[in-house]
Amino acid sequence: MASTVTRVRRALALALILSAPAAPASDGFCPAPGAWTMPAVQPVASQPLMSVLDHVRDRRVVLLGEQHDSMEHHRWQLHVASALLAESPDLVLALEMFPRSVQPVLDRWVAGELSEQAFLEESHWSRVWRFDPQLYLPLFHFARMHRVPMLAMNVDAAITRKVSQTGFDATPELVALGVSRPAAPTPAYRDFLWSSFSQHAAGGEGKDADPATHVPFLRFVESQQVWDRAMAQSMAGVLANRPGARVVALVGAGHAVNGWGIEHQLRDLGIRDVATLLPSDVGMTCENATPETATALFGVGESRDAETPRPRLGVWLEMAESRVAVKKVEDGSVASAAGVQVGDVFVEVAGRACRSVDEVIERIVQQAPGSWLPIRVARGETTVELVAKFPPRP
């Protein structure tokens, strides 16, 4: 079962990303596939890429929004990043996916010192992001080919979870990382967060409460903003140390749309030359677009690729006394059907010993649809043999 924070974040993603399909060019600001529109440019008309580049030429920060599991979005990001590199040789690729702690690994990757496998293992990809790496590897190879620095700009998810539980002031890890208190949210952002929090929190938690005094909600807002603040400060640090640089950031659309997230924090840090480019199939960014929604929108066509979701076992794992233990089992999951129980300790997965949570995740995501995965767990004083049966491709 997901935590309140996880549940509400999923709801926010749905609200921001899945609320409406892309529309024809004649419908408001929604561009046709392959075309651009700029909400601030009137009258509304399709724009070529060069016009968009001219419009954002003086912006030192360019946010490229995405739906994390959309290959089309990542292809679009790659094309835009390539065009921006042609204009700005001193480019830095900033990445939401990685916490700052793995920056040395990103540096070694760009320098050509690591294989793909070593890069994914040493950056703990399976733990810190968990989306299919094939979605992002073309972008990472682009950075390495052109020696474009990659910036790990996030904080570990455990820190934002702690903020959501105890608040900013009770999370000293943020001080150690140099993350300062976020600027207060705009009223529009706070209202949007409250509408999702009150509807999707456990048991309707806080439904009739006052959002100005409801502590769980206030902590949730802090956790959302810590994420934005950490990324904004990472980019601000680059610009301070490299005055001629331009930062291109790959971030979830929810952190970029309407200027509520990262851009709001950048402004508080004194950085106002920010452009937000979004694919037009992220719902709110189309029919209801305003000049505040995004600098420009790109029409993304429907993908014809068969993008198979990554296999999920449906367990929450943790390290307990140097062993991989099961903290939770999701109802209706593959793990539940296989007989995995809370408190089980993973001994072997796919016939190999398990020494870390990362190892377990890596073996799970390698499973093909419809395959069976043997698992050996320690349960009390006994060892139990289980088989996880993954569903076939839809």
Mean pLDDT by 10 residues, the chain (394 residues): 49 42 48 89 84 95 94 95 95 97 97 95 88 92 98 92 90 92 93 81 62 88 93 97 96 93 97 95 64 90 63 84 89 92 92 85 81 92 92 79
Give the contacts of 285 (CB within 8 A, at least 6 positions apart): 65, 253, 257, 278, 279, 293, 294, 297
Q: Output the domain CATH number for residue 374.
A: 2.30.42.10
For residue 308, what are its two tokens? 């198979």
172 with 231, same domain? Answer: yes
Beta strand ranges found along the chain (DSSP E):
36-37, 61-66, 91-99, 150-154, 246-252, 274-279, 296-298, 315-320, 323-329, 345-349, 352-353, 372-379, 382-389
Contact 231, 198 (CB under 8 A): no
Stated as kind and residue range, the H or E segment containing 57 is none
Structural domain includes residue 303 = no
Rg (CA), the chain: 22
Round to whole Å and give the CA distance between 2 and 376: 25
How far is residue 59 from each of residues 63, 148, 222, 274, 275, measured CA to CA in Å?
10, 18, 28, 5, 6
Round to whole Å and give the CA distance between 227 and 223: 7
Round to whole Å and give the CA distance between 97 and 227: 11
Structural domain includes residue 35 = yes
For residue 123, what are its two tokens? 């950056």
250 with 382, same domain? Answer: no
Structural domain includes residue 306 = no
51 with 113, same domain? Answer: yes
Round to whole Å and give the CA distance between 230 and 173: 12
130 with 269, same domain? Answer: yes
Structural domain includes residue 357 = yes
For residue 109, what are its two tokens? 């990757």
Quote the domain boundaries for residue 219: 4-298
Q: Output the domain CATH number for residue 132.
A: 3.40.50.11550
273 with 345, same domain? Answer: no
Cα of first residue to Cα of last residue in the chain, in angstroms, is 24
335 with 215, same domain? Answer: no
Contact 128, 107 (CB under 8 A): no
Among 244, 272, 298, identify where a domain stops. Answer: 298
Round to whole Å and give the CA distance between 179 and 265: 12
Phi and psi at residue 108, in whole multiples of 5°?
-70, -35
Among 267, 298, 329, identify where a domain stops. Answer: 298
Angle, CA of 125, 160 and 155, to the nearest 5°: 45
Cis peptide before 43 (omega within 30 of 0): yes
For residue 229, what are its two tokens? 């603040």
59 with 170, same domain? Answer: yes
DSSP 61: E
237 with 371, same domain? Answer: no
Structural domain includes residue 307 = no
Structural domain includes residue 237 = yes
- Please write down the HEC assignment for all residues of 340-354: CCCCCEEEEECCEEC
Beta strand ranges found along 17-121 (DSSP E):
36-37, 61-66, 91-99
Q: How many domains does the chain have?
A: 2
Among 269, 298, 327, identify where a domain stops. Answer: 298
74 with 166, same domain? Answer: yes
For residue 365, what are its two tokens? 């995501």
The closest of 350, 338, 392, 340 to 370, measured between CA atoms, is: 392
| Model pTM above 0.85 | no
Beta strand 315-320 with 150-154 is: unpaired
pLDDT at position 325 is 92
pLDDT at position 17 is 37
174 with 57, same domain? Answer: yes
Round to whole Å and give the CA distance between 4 and 197: 9
Contact 154, 231 (CB under 8 A): yes
Give the contacts of 160 (CB within 8 A, at least 6 positions apart): 223, 226, 227
Give the contacts of 55 (CB within 8 A, at least 6 positions apart): 38, 41, 275, 295, 296
pLDDT at position 23 is 34
Structural domain includes residue 105 = yes
pLDDT at position 130 is 76
pLDDT at position 211 is 85
The closest of 249, 264, 236 to 84, measured between CA atoms, is: 249
Structural domain includes residue 99 = yes
Stated as kind and residue range, the H or E segment containing 108 is helix 103-110
